[in-house]
Chain A
Amino acid sequence: MFIIMIRTLILYISVIFSLRVMGKRQIGELQPSELVVAIMISDLATVPMESVNIPLTAGVIPVFTLVIAEVITSFLCLKSRKVRRIISGEPSIVIYDGVIIEKEMRRLRFNINDLLEELRLNNCHDISDVAVAVIETSGKLSVIPRDHARSVTVEDLGLTDVRSEGLPCTVISDGELNETELKRSGKSLKWLKDELKKNGIDDMKDVFIASVDAEGELFIQKKGEG
């Protein structure tokens, strides 16, 4: 019983370590080789987890070997366009200037229903509104709308006094001050304390979340407020 628990924990740590080594891309957008590795790792880890007759190394060594292969493959893809084309393939244009490229659709075995579904998911309901649609190597469809169908931008409207929307700095999280974020926000600790006092807060521990936006404005939510 305890043996299985310990073995499971070891394999759990090994798989997490492996995914961390493979990087963030592994968790989000999966390339073909990454998908293969993800499936294989999950399967390899469960076999020695279940059976105590199989040594733990029989699960750990293949998992690490796959990580080695995957990281080396990613490195080669990064360095060589040729390798990248072989391993990940290349994006394919399926709609150009409002016209579906049937030949490419047939080659990708991508039917019209799939295409329409992906277009709807991209908030595009009319094929004639599409300037270019590309099937990326991860299998997702990217849509570039025609000029008349795209959203209006700030540039189109010619606005000059626009509120900037940078990444807010979470200076206090769950009652704890994040000094790195405070430094990034360009504000001082004294300023933060003064602002908290203005909002009737004497102790940072009473703050659930406080963030400074790109305009330098402070957002505060007290604990127990939500």
Chain B
Amino acid sequence: MKSMIAVLIMTAVLAAGGIWYMNKLSDVSEELSEINCEVREELENRRYKNASQKIDELYRYLDEEERYFEAFSDHEELDKIRMTLSELEEYTNAGAGTEALAKTNVLEFLFEHLPKNYRLRFENIL
């Protein structure tokens, strides 16, 4: 009976943790995508200084939420985001609009991809 109680508690903790993590990941992904869209808008209008400020905002937000990803997701995914973000920052500072825009596209894909792997879907189970 003790084992059953322990198992029920573990099930409840894992289920609650799973739901919380999926929601958290979706929220963070949405927020990151939103800031990334703002970066893209600034780049399209060739306002590189504003774009650079938005990139800093992306960095700050990512730093705040990083621990959640590191605790549950593959660290490689986060490394890819950081590398692309670093490239975007350099292209923006150098005023290379086209390259910077390409990097925002890559980031958009990576941000959207974050929660996709963890959603309770048949494709993900398979």
User: Interface on A for B, CB 8 Å cutoff?
Assistant: 21-23, 52-58, 61, 64-65, 67-68, 71-72, 74-75
Contacts and interface: CB of A to CB of B under 8 A. Distances in A.
B122 interface: no
B7 A68 contact: yes
Closest 9 CB pairs of A and B: A71-B7, A53-B75, A71-B3, A68-B7, A21-B6, A57-B72, A21-B3, A64-B10, A68-B11
B123 interface: no
Nearest to A65: B14
Nearest to B73: A55
B76 interface: yes
A23 B3 contact: yes
Main secondary structure of the interface of B (DSSP, over half): helix
A41 to B, nearest CB: 14
Contact of B74 (A53, A72, A75): A53
A51 to B, nearest CB: 9
A21 B2 CA distance: 8
* Chain A contact residues: helix, strand, loop or mixed: helix
Contacts of A52: 75
B4 interface: yes
Interface in B7-54: 7, 10-11, 14
Nearest to A23: B3
Given A21-B7, A71-B4, A64 B75 contact: no
Given A71-B4, A75-B4, A55 B71 contact: yes
A19 to B, nearest CB: 11
Contact of A53 (B3, B72, B76): B76
Interface string B66-85: 00001111111000000000
Given A23-B3, A53-B76, A67 B71 contact: no
Given A22-B3, A71-B4, A55 B10 contact: no
